[in-house]
Amino acid sequence: MLRSRPDPSRRRAELPAIAGQPPGLDVTITGCVFRSRCPLAVDACAETPPWTATGADTGFACIRPLSAAVRTEVSDVA
C-alpha cells in the first residue's frame, strides 16, 4: 500500500498495485481490511486494530506500523 502513494517526482509513472483483490462490498470484514493482501500480516491481524492518530485528521490502524527502515524492505517484497 505504501508504494501506491503518488510521488510528485515520478510524474506519469504507473503506480504499483496492491496484490490480490479487495473484499466485496457485501462481505462483513473482521480485523484488518488489508490482512489478506499484506505481506506483514500475522494471526493477530484478525482482530480489529486500534486507531493511532498521527495528526488532527490523519492516523492509521495497524498492529504492525512500519518504521522508515522497514518500509523500504517491504516495498521490495510487495
Instruction: Report which of residues 7 and 35 the model is more confident about.
Output: 35
Q: State how far the Cα of 70 lies from the Cα of 74, in Å rounded to an integer.
A: 6
Q: Average pLDDT over the chain, rounded to whole?
A: 75
Question: How do residues 12-23 score in pLDDT, each as one tens digit?
Answer: 667 667 777 777
* Mean pLDDT of the region 27-31: 86
pLDDT of residue 65: 80
Round to the nearest angstrom and report the end-to-end CA distance of the chain.
Answer: 8
| pTM > 0.85 | no
Q: Please, what sign has the CA dihedral across residues 23, 68, 47, 39?
A: positive
CB 39 within 8 A of CB 74: yes
